[in-house]
């Protein structure tokens, strides 16, 4: 199974360690790809050394709409079947990219903790509804 893990960056932190351990544990059962919104990070370099494809998009300030198109191209090129987004922002871009992908991969979202205070504005709620209406959820 071809799985794309989407994170901010593969630094040494909780969600990132979970992704690395998942990849290490599942071994040949999956063909992993790690997609980082910002930078590769130390764990990303380590995974690259193990032969895992790790891509960093260098996300721009604000909403980087082009990032979703680049991510969708990665989904198609790697023939990704499942996308596992860790944290809200990676999920947002993964859901947008999913909508732009013809053979939409399944989409899994894991939130590892929220920032305090957790205030969700009306614009975010509306965007979530619009984006999620077109995404296939797993």
Domains and CATH numbers, the chain: 2-134 (3.40.50.2000)
Pick from 46, 129, 36: nearest CA to 86: 36
pLDDT above 60 for 136 = no
The pLDDT of 3-10, averaged and rounded, is 95
The length of the chain is: 138
Q: Which of 46-55, 95-104, 117-126 has the lowest mean pLDDT?
A: 117-126
The pLDDT of 67-81, averaged and rounded, is 96
């Amino acid at each position: 199974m071809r799985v794309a893990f989407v994170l901010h960056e593969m630094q040494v932190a909780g969600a990132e360690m979970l992704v690395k351990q998942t990849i290490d544990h599942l071994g040949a059962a999956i063909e992993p790809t790690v997609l980082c919104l910002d930078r590769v990070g130390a764990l990303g370099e380590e995974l690259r050394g193990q032969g895992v494809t790790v891509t960093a998009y260098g996300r721009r300030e604000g909403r980087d709409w082009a990032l979703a198109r680049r991510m969708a191209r990665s989904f198609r090129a790697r023939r990704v079947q499942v996308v596992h987004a860790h944290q809200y922002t990676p999920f947002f871009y993964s859901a947008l990219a999913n909508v732009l992908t013809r053979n939409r991969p399944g989409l899994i979202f894991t939130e590892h903790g929220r920032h305090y205070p957790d205030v969700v504005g009306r614009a975010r709620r509306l965007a979530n509804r619009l984006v999620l209406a077109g995404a296939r959820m797993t």
